[in-house]
Amino acid sequence: MSKPVVLIAEELSPATVDALGPDFDVRHVDGTDRQALFAELATADAILVRSATKMDAEAIKAAPQLKVIARAGVGLDNVDIKAATAAGVMVVNAPTSNIISAAELTVGHILSLARHIPAASGALADGQWKRSKYTGVELYEKTIGIIGLGRIGALITARMQAFGTNVIAYDPYITSARAQQLGVTPVTLDELLAQSDFVTIHMPKTPETTGMIGEAQLKLMKPTAFVVNVARGGLVDEEALHAALVAGTIAGAGLDVFVSEPPTNSPLLGLDNIITTPHLGASTDEAQEKAGVSVAKSVRLALSGELVPDAVNVAGGVIDPYVRPGIPLVEKLGQVFSGLAAHSPLTSVDIEVRGELVDYDVSVLKLAALKGIFTNVVSETVSYVNAPLLAEQRGVTVRMITDAVSPEYRNVITLRGALADGSQVSVSGTLMGTKQIEKITEVNGYDVEVPFAKNLIVMIYTDRPGIVAVYGREFGEASINIAGMQIARHEAGGKALSVLTVDSEVPAGLLASVRTAIDADVMVEIDITE
């Protein structure tokens, strides 16, 4: 069997290829050469890019086998996420690869502004010894205003506190407990701008945040204050910033990012009270290596159909450690569910999560359930990206239901579905004990407690004496060893459910024979794929 093709479209660290390992056919192409790119995309299963390669709708259409686009960095401006999702292609990035580098560059800008380091260095290179002109200020006891207290903002907080500064922050989503934990005083945006000696912005670029530091905001700042932006070009209104720097409304600015890059004709570049760098936030050897290795690992997971925590076009994102053990459980429940529902097309499915889990983001369990349901149903490889699309294409209505009340178990997850013939199927499961053992706790309304096994047999029949002996003899004569068994019923003489775990796959002919022998209403074998 040929290896999956992984296309590297831009220069990445050697560690990236090493992280991919020997399981892939790794090829290289110049991603800026569209003709060459399209030729290689025709057979690619995955592509790794940085910022120069445009993975737009046209490029995605040229890649019929593509399963994952990996951006070795944080931004995704060069990837058409909507087109990728529609094509069932996972998009991943490396959201934490450059956070230390970006935080350190921010500190570098703040120090450079405080002590005029670039200008003083330039003057000395020109033979000018101007100590008095470049008198600066200490950071000690100054107020640092951080707009956006996410991962980078928190790193900057720790580093600036080491200088003995007072850190205040504006973040509409930060809790007071988190701010207290970081030793930061939360304030409004206007308060931050008015009080800060240095303002640094670390927000995502959205329609709401674009231009959020404009003329009105700059006028609120002290005339001795500085503003720094190493996050995204356009968060600070460049025209308003130029006017403020020329008028002396603020003392200076540090920019690593611009609306248009490179900012060839920007009037900001001609000012002597601004420090600029050419988008160097992630430009360290360490950040580049982390980014490449991170997305290489994501590609490996994606091509094996596993959950990718850094995927940006599937629900779930970063998964809480309390939720993560439930993912393989729910995938297996999905496989049991599809086995029980095999006699009729599925029209709807509810994924019910009950118990302590509902305090966390459990949206990933919906994806895990759909992946499990379709794994043994469709011919194509099922992933966390295309599983919802497979449900949509088949007209299956999917709902996620959560309830904190779970009377019998700390947590229990149920898949309940309606079939085209009017019947319903359900299966529930939980993780038990300190070892988190995966167990089935309910099948079609019957309470059981059965550990998962590779081969399961589910039977529903009329409860009467001698049934166990009948199917036990049938399996025994066929050399099928029964490893475990549990029987459940609602009342004596009514319908009973039996779940068997067996050590080997059961031939279809034998199942039919056993079904006839015990006159079973339901007789299915379910092979669990890990």
Do the beta carbons of residue 367 and residue 387 sit within 8 Å? yes
Residue of 138, 239, 261, 356 with catalytic role: 261
Residue of 232, 300, 416, 515 with catalytic role: 232
Would you put residue 303 in left (φ > 0), alpha (ψ -120 to 50) or beta? alpha
Residue indicated by tokens 């000696």: 197
Residue of 159, 279, 300, 416 with catalytic role: 279
Quickly list DSSP for 127-185: T---TTTT-----TT-EEEEE--SHHHHHHHHHHHTTTPEEEEE-TT--HHHHHHHT-E
Q: How many other C-beta atoms lie within 10 A of the C-beta of residue 172?
A: 9
CA distance 172 to 186: 9
Q: What is the total residue count of the chain?
A: 530
Residue 232 is among the residues annotated as catalytic for this protein: yes
Cα angle 478, 483, 485; round to 5: 100
- Token reading at 46: 């995955």
Residue 261 is among the residues annotated as catalytic for this protein: yes
Q: Using only C-alpha atoms, what is the Rg of the chain?
A: 30
DSSP state for residue 381 in the 8-state scheme: P
CA distance 78 to 142: 39
Residue 40 is among the residues annotated as catalytic for this protein: no
Nearest to 89 by CA among 342, 288, 257, 311: 311
Residue indicated by tokens 């920007």: 266
Do the beta carbons of residue 148 and residue 230 sit within 8 Å? no
Do the beta carbons of residue 237 and residue 210 sit within 8 Å? no
What is the helix (H) or strand (E) element at residue 296, kind and residue range? helix 285-303
Active site residues: 232, 261, 279
